[in-house]
Amino acid sequence: MNAIAYQLEPQRGLAGLTARPQEIPAPGPHQVLVRVRAAGLNRRDIMLMDGTYPLAARPGVAPLSDGVGEVVAVGDGVIRAAVGDRVTGTYFLGWNDGPQTQALITQQYGATHDGWLAEYILLEEDSVVHAPAHLTDAEAATLTCAGVVAWSALTTPAPVRPGETVLTVGTGTVALFAIQYAAMLGARVISVTSTADKAERLRKLGSDEVIDRTEWPDWENPVLELTGGDGVQHVIDAVGPPTLPKSLAASTYNARVSLIGAFAAEPGRQLADPFGGKYLSIRRPAVGSRADFEAMNHAIAEHGLHPVIDRQFPVDQAVDAYRYFTEGNPFGKVVVTFPQER
Ligand SMILES: NC(=O)c1ccc[n+]([C@@H]2O[C@H](COP(=O)([O-])OP(=O)(O)OC[C@H]3O[C@@H](n4cnc5c(N)ncnc54)[C@H](OP(=O)(O)O)[C@@H]3O)[C@@H](O)[C@H]2O)c1
């Protein structure tokens, strides 16, 4: 049986995503060949398909930044992985630790380098991150993008402290990871959603209070009330510019606001001082480094945390997985699994 890999022809919608025979690549020096067991979808994979991501996908690239598999061969000089290891991979090639550079941002699996929607992936040795042992393959295939950005936003440059309040905005998987991590770090968590039936699920994950923004369009007011008028110390805004003014209004002095979401701003709305006269830090993180990923995995393993999975699709239904991700309003990750018997 031949191996298969999906190829993405950008700006052609789902018609641009097709399965093709894959020639099994041979690892060069400092490369690792991984047989894929599961791969996870992120919003960026839809943006790469639509041509709305800041980086253009290389035509014909194997998509997806997130996945897990077993190392089946290693190239010369590899010391960070061995045949039989169960590994995931970093989002960026070459960002191991420290601050990110502009050059590194263009080197991404599933965009400019072949990603995980394939039976085999070649990883640079530096990109290898071992998967936490207690996670299933589907769970381990959710960590690279949403998991790491939520982690790096909450723990760098300094971790959220117990007793601080974290506000999450949006209920995609960045926010779900952020809720789990913030609760794990001992913070109080307030979450904003537009869907009443998600409230109970958010509470189960770790939210102490949930505000429905359809019931409370000015949701910054109940957040201020819940914090005695002060506001929260940390915001994970996983929506973007449309919700940023409210996120700022819900923040206290010296708050740290992480603007992670990239949804478009409403047209024609300009605020003179979006900071509302407050002094605080706002930043726009880009996923995180390998060091962030490894620190996150250590904490996930230590606390026995399990990522939230909504639905799994076998690899021959990968196009349905994309469709469900965009149209099915999932709560948690959408994962593609690969049969291991051949
Ligand atoms: N910078 C980075 O490194 C990085 C990494 C990963 C993701 N991202 C970005 O982060 C965002 C979230 O990604 P994701 O994968 O977690 O989830 P997602 O599936 O894109 O998130 C969708 C959620 O956002 C909420 N939402 C959408 N439009 C909204 C609006 N106008 N106002 C308020 N809430 C709105 C909805 O939640 P409710 O209806 O429940 O409110 C919805 O469930 C995306 O823009 C993604 O591109 C950035």
Nearest to 91 by CA among 171, 30, 148, 32: 148
Kindly state whether residue 81 falls inside one of the protein's structural domains: yes
**96 and 20 housed in the same domain:** yes
What spacing in Å lies between the alpha carbon of 22 and ligand 1's midpoint?
A: 33
Q: How far is the centre of ligand 1, averaged over its atoms, from the C-alpha of 47 (Å)?
A: 12
Asked if 130 and 43 sit in the same domain, the reply is yes
**Tens digit of each residue's pLDDT, the chain (342 residues):** 579 999 999 999 999 999 999 999 999 999 999 999 999 999 999 999 999 999 999 999 999 999 999 999 999 999 999 999 999 999 999 999 999 888 889 999 999 999 999 999 999 999 999 999 999 999 999 999 999 999 999 999 999 999 999 999 999 999 999 999 999 999 999 999 988 889 999 999 999 999 999 999 999 999 999 999 999 999 999 998 889 999 999 999 999 999 998 877 665 555 667 788 788 888 989 999 999 999 999 999 999 999 999 999 999 999 999 999 999 999 999 999 998 854
Co-location of 111 and 30 in the same domain = yes
* Residue 74 CA to ligand 1 centre (angstroms): 37
In angstroms, what is the span from residue 155 Cα to ligand 1's centroid? 20
Q: Is residue 242 part of a domain?
A: yes
Q: How much is the pLDDT for 102?
A: 87
Alpha carbons within 13 angstroms on the beta-carbon side of residue 234 total 30
Residue 262 alpha carbon, nearest atom of ligand 1: 45
Q: Which of 44, 90, 168, 194 to mutate to test the pocket of ligand 1 (most atoms within 8 A of CB)?
A: 194
Residues 164 and 116 in one domain: no
Contact in structure between 111 and 57 (CB atoms under 8 Å): yes
Q: Which of 91, 174, 211 best tests ligand 1's pocket when mutated (most atoms within 8 Å of CB)?
A: 174
Q: Whose CA is nearest to atom 25 of ligand 1?
A: 170
38 and 158 part of one domain: no
**297 assigned to some structural domain:** no
* One domain, residues 31 and 132: yes
**Do 15 and 96 lie in a common domain?**
yes
Q: What is the CATH number of the domain that holds 80?
A: 3.90.180.10
Same domain? 317 vs 199: no
Q: How far is the CA of 264 from the centre of ligand 1 (A)?
A: 11
Atom from ligand 1 closest to the CA of residue 176: 16
Q: How many domains does the chain have?
A: 2
65 is a domain residue? yes
Based on the fold, state whether residues 187 and 103 are members of the same structural domain. no
C-alpha 342 to ligand 1 mean position (Å): 38
The answer to whether residue 299 is domain-embedded is no
Radius of gyration in angstroms for the set of CA atoms belonging to the chain, rounded to a whole number: 20
Q: Are residues 85 and 108 in the same domain?
A: yes
Strands (E), 152-308: 165-169, 188-193, 209-212, 232-237, 251-259, 281-283
Question: How many C-beta atoms lie closer than 10 Å to residue 302's C-beta?
Answer: 10
C-alpha of residue 4 to centroid of ligand 1, in Å: 31
pLDDT of residue 122: 98
Alpha carbon nearest to ligand 1 atom 19, residue? 172
- Going from the Cα of 171 to the center of ligand 1, the distance in angstroms, rounded, reads 7
Is residue 87 in some structural domain? yes
236, 107: one domain: no
User: What is the pTM for the complete model shown?
Assistant: 0.94
Whether 314 maps to a domain, the answer reads: yes
| Per-residue pLDDT, 262 | 82
Test site for ligand 1: of 239, 257, 282, 333, most ligand atoms within 8 A of the Cβ: 239
Kind plus residue range of the DSSP H or E element containing 325? helix 318-327
Residue closest by Cα to atom 17 of ligand 1 = 172
Q: Residue 168 belongs to what domain range? A: 149-283
Q: Helix or strand or coil: residue 309? A: strand
Residue 294 inside a domain? The answer is no
- CATH number for the domain including 268? 3.40.50.720
Q: Is the peptide bond before 157 cis (omega within 30 degrees of 0)?
A: yes
Longest dimension (CA), the chain: 64
Exposed/middle/buried for residue 329 (C-beta within 10 Å: 0-12, 13-18, 19+): exposed
User: Ligand 1 — pocket residues by CB below 6 A?
Assistant: 42-44, 145-146, 149, 170-175, 193-195, 198, 238-240, 242-243, 260-263, 285-287
| 37 and 123 housed in the same domain | yes
